[in-house]
Amino acid sequence: MKNKKIKIARIEKDMSQTDLAEAIGVTRQTIGLIEAGGYNPTLNLCIAICKTLGRTLDELFWIEEGE
């Protein structure tokens, strides 16, 4: 399942996938795959993404029913 929330938060923060990847210490492909729904990140990586983008886990990773 695609994660549009991360993509939107990243764009709002004016960061490219490369910027976010470098800030967290992963490759750009990993960010691309998380956004595309091709990889489920560990909790540690989720937290790192949230901290970098200034959002909470709920805001970026919680999925409401029917979403």
- The CA angle 49-29-1, to the nearest 5 degrees, is 70
Say if residues 53 and 46 touch (Cβ distance below 8 Å): no
Q: Which stretch binds another protein (CB under 8 A): 36-44, 50-58, 59-67?
A: 36-44
Nearer to another protein, 39 or 65 (CB): 39
Nearer to another protein, 40 or 56 (CB): 40
> What is the sign of the dihedral through the CA atoms of 50, 56, 62 and 67?
negative
* Residue of the chain from 5, 9, 17, 61 that contacts another protein (CB under 8 A): 17
Q: What is the spatial distance between Cα 23 and Cα 34, in angstroms, rounded to a whole number?
A: 15
Chain residues binding another protein by CB under 8 A are 2, 7, 11, 16-18, 24-30, 32-33, 35-36, 38-39, 41-42, 44-45
